[in-house]
């Protein structure tokens, strides 16, 4: 029961204001601006309670998007809706920024009318929305067309319309994982987890039914009892020990038949047309960490410090990590930095109080090193000690650090005359860094 939705620019000026329920008054818009956007102290919490009204906000670049609710709503639902809304808007007009919002003013209100009704989220699927909210101006639709849309939107398979036809039936599958890590200076893992998602792009004719197989422990175990189960592809990265992984929790796109998953542990679905996120999951066990950072910090007196950082890549030598970036924080009273590194480029970035070391490409099983000398200005106030924030890292590797593997993806379309073998399938694994930090 979201009462209203507001969009502000970075100055706190209201760009979009849509009130769904009467319990949200006009002053709610100002209340959020005054208490959150213009608050003297930066508001960290995404949920703020002002005068018995809850405000849930997210930020995209410099835009604040805020949902206000008087009732005790499910906060997770509200945020999920906000993210969906951002996604829908992104799909319609690209990047969310002030100019784009101003230029698509009418469209946004039209969308807001559709995706939410009396505070209850409705259909937020871009594919469907695009069937009746178009950007090509007003195109009068025939009666049949409108009934078709209505039937489809209210029908059983709301996410896919009938009569889609492609000359080439193609399917793209991306497994995108982000690794989060916190490591002690001695190399002990303090916490690590992977959050991954399976992104799919389908260009299939008709109403195909797909079956998706992964190396999840439960699925594999249940399959093992059935005869004729095919084994998966080769080992890419480190991966699970027995070739299967333990997924802590997962969620699926609405097209997945959950009943089938519950009974047979099979992921079966009729995909929407175009791009969508098939599933999302999280693992915490047996993660193969692609990189290790070994820091060595030596403070020489009060005005000098030596830092040595070694980065080790820990995956197959044939693979290539990209966009590797190591951030080494420097003390707040740094007055000068000399950096030496053999590989990549390193630079002291004063505005971030950090040394940023960028490596474009890095093969597996390599070990590269950076050393830096930091000069400091002796502070007048000695009481404050530098807290040594952790060294953080960014990268992209072409495998799934959790060991997640796609075992098969089968397409069945009984009515049209193409079979599983005619579909061209592309599978890609991307491992990214989330919060990848090593204490120093």
Partner 1 sequence: VKDSMRGLAVFISDIRNCKSKEAEEKRINKELANIRSKFKGDKALDGYQKKKYVCKLLFIFLLGNDIDFGHMEAVNLLNSNKYTEKQIGYLFISVLISENNELMRLVQQNLKNDLASRNPVHVNLALECIANIGSKEMAEMFAPEIPKLLVMGDAGDTVKQSAALCLLKLFRTAPEMVPIGDWTSRVIHLLNDQHMGVVTAAVSLIEALVKRNPDDFKGCVSLSISRLARIVTSSYTDLQDYTYYFVPAPWLSVKLLRLLQNYPPPEDTTVRNRLAECLETILNKAVEPPKSKKVQHSNAKNAVLFEAISLIIHMDSDPSLLVRACSQLGQFLSNRETNLRYLALESMCLLATSEFSHDAVKRHQETVVTALKSERDVSVRQRAVDLLYAMCDRSNAEEIVGEMLTYLETADYSIRGELVLKIAILAEKYASDYTWYVDTILNLIRLAGDFVSEEVWYRVIQIVINREDVQAYAAKTVFEALEAPACHENMVKVGGYILGEFGNLIAGDARSSPSTQFQLLHGKFHLCSPPTRALLLSAYIKLVNLFPEIREDIIAVLESDANLRNSNVEIQQRASEYLSLARNSTQDVLATVLEEMPPFPERESSILAQLRKKKPAVEDAIRARGEKQQQRPASGAADGAAASAAPTAATPTSGGGGGVKLQGDIAGAESNTDSDLLGLDFGGSAPAAAAGGGGAGGGSVDLLSSILDVGVSSSSSSSAAPSAASGASAQRKTVVVGAGASGSIVGEENWHKFVCKNSGVLYENDILQVGVKCDYQQSSGRIVVYYGNKTPAPLAQFASVINLPDSSLTNQLGIQVKPVGDRVGASEQVNEVITVDCMAEFSACPLLNIRFVYSGVAQSITLKLPLTINKFMQSSEMDSATFFQHWKQLSQPEQECQKIFQAKFPMDAETTKTKILGFGFSLLSNIDSNPANFVGAGIVQTKSGNIGSLFRLEPNQQAQMYRLTVHSIKPGVSKRLCELLETQL
Burial (Cβ within 10 Å: 0-12, 13-18, ≥19) of residue 345 = exposed
Q: Which two tokens stand for residue 58?
A: 């997210």
C-alpha distance from residue 282 to each of 74, 194, 245, 247, 403 (Å) = 22, 6, 11, 6, 12
State the number of CA atoms in the 13 A half-sphere of 272 facing the CB.
24
Q: DSSP alpha helices (H): ranges in 139-181?
A: 143-154
The smaller minimum CB distance to partner 1, of residues 375 and 422, is found at 375
The smaller minimum CB distance to partner 1, of residues 14 and 182, is found at 14
Closest distance to partner 1 from the beta carbon of 353 (Å): 6
> Which contiguous run of DSSP H or E holds residue 220?
helix 217-225
- Rounded to 5°, the CA angle 193-198-202 comes to 175
The smaller minimum CB distance to partner 1, of residues 43 and 266, is found at 43
- Terminal C-alpha separation, the chain: 46
Closest distance to partner 1 from the beta carbon of 324 (Å): 23
The smaller minimum CB distance to partner 1, of residues 150 and 335, is found at 335
Query: Which parts of this chain interact with partner 1 (CB under 8 A)?
Result: 10, 42, 62, 332-336, 350-353, 375-381, 384
Closest distance to partner 1 from the beta carbon of 62 (Å): 6
Pair 395, 434: CB distance under 8 Å: no
The smaller minimum CB distance to partner 1, of residues 30 and 352, is found at 352
Closest distance to partner 1 from the beta carbon of 314 (Å): 33
Closest distance to partner 1 from the beta carbon of 350 (Å): 3
C-alpha–C-alpha distance, residues 143 and 273, integer Å: 24
The smaller minimum CB distance to partner 1, of residues 57 and 160, is found at 57
Closest distance to partner 1 from the beta carbon of 195 (Å): 25
């Amino acid at each position: 029961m979201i009462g209203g939705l507001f969009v502000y620019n970075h100055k706190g000026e209201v760009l979009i204001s849509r009130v769904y329920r009467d319990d949200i008054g006009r002053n709610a818009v100002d209340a959020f601006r005054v208490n959150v956007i213009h608050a003297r102290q930066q508001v960290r919490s995404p949920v703020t309670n002002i005068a018995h009204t809850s405000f849930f906000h997210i930020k995209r670049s410099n835009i604040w998007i805020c949902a206000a609710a008087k009732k005790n709503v499910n906060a997770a639902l509200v945020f999920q809706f906000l993210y969906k809304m951002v996604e829908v808007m992104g799909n319609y007009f690209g990047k969310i920024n002030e100019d784009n919002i101003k230029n698509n003013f009418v469209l946004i209100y039209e969308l807001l009318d559709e995706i939410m009704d009396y505070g209850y989220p409705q259909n937020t699927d871009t594919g469907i929305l695009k069937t009746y909210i178009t950007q090509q101006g007003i195109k009068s639709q025939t009666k049949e067309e409108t009934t078709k849309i209505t039937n489809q939107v209210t029908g059983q398979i709301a996410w896919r319309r009938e009569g889609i036809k492609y000359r080439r039936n193609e399917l793209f599958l991306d497994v995108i994982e982000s690794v989060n890590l916190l490591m002690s200076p001695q190399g002990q893992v303090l916490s690590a987890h992977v959050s991954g998602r399976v992104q799919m792009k389908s260009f299939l004719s008709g109403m195909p039914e797909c079956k998706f197989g992964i190396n999840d422990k439960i699925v594999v175990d249940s399959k093992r009892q059935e005869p004729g189960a095919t084994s998966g592809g080769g080992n890419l990265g480190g991966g699970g020990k027995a070739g299967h992984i333990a997924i802590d929790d997962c969620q699926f796109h609405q097209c997945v038949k959950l009943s089938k998953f519950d009974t047979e542990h099979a992921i079966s679905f009729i995909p929407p047309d175009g791009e969508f996120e098939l599933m999302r999951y999280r693992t915490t066990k047996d993660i193969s960490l692609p990189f290790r950072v070994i820091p060595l910090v030596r403070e020489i007196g009060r005005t000098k410090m030596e830092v040595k950082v070694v980065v080790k890549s820990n995956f197959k030598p044939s693979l290539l990590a990209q966009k590797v970036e190591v951030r080494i924080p420097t003390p707040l009273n740094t007055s000068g930095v000399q950096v030496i590194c053999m590989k990549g480029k390193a630079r002291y970035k004063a505005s971030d109080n950090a040394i940023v070391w960028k490596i474009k490409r890095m093969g597996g099983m390599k070990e590269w090193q950076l050393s830096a000398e930091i000069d400091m200005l002796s502070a007048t106030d000695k009481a404050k000690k530098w807290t040594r924030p952790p060294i953080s890292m960014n990268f992209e590797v072409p495998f799934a650090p959790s060991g997640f593997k796609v075992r098969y993806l089968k397409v069945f379309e009984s009515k049209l005359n193409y079979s599983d073998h005619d579909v061209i399938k592309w599978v890609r694994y991307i491992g990214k860094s989330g919060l990848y930090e090593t204490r120093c």
